[in-house]
C-alpha cells in the first residue's frame, strides 16, 4: 500500500519544493528565486518540514 504513496508525496529533506504563484508551476531544487516556466519572481518554498 505504501508503494504508491511515494509518487503522491514528493517530500525530500535534501531539496526544497517550490511553487510559482503566477503560473502554478511546481519544481524542486535549492535556492530557486525565479520560475523556470514563466520567469516570475513570485516563487515560494512550499516544503513542509517533518520532525
Domains, the chain, in order of start with CATH, read 5-45 (2.20.28)
Q: What is the pLDDT of residue 1?
A: 43
Angle of CA points 3, 11, 34, to nearest 5°: 135
Is the model's pTM score more than 0.85?
Answer: no
Q: What is the pLDDT of residue 38?
A: 94
Average pLDDT over residues 15-25: 88
Poorest-pLDDT segment among 8-12, 36-40, 44-48: 8-12
Q: Are 12 and 48 in contact (CB under 8 A)?
A: no
Q: What is the pLDDT of residue 43?
A: 92
Mean pLDDT, all residues of the chain = 76
In order of 9, 10, 37, 39, the CA distances from 6 in angstroms are: 5, 7, 25, 29
Q: What is the pLDDT of residue 28?
A: 84
Amino acid at each position: 500500500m505504501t508503494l504508491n504513496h511515494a509518487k503522491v508525496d514528493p517530500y525530500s529533506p535534501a531539496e526544497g519544493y517550490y511553487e510559482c504563484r503566477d503560473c502554478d508551476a511546481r519544481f524542486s531544487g535549492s535556492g530557486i528565486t525565479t520560475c523556470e516556466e514563466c520567469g516570475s519572481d513570485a516563487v515560494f518554498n512550499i516544503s513542509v518540514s517533518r520532525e
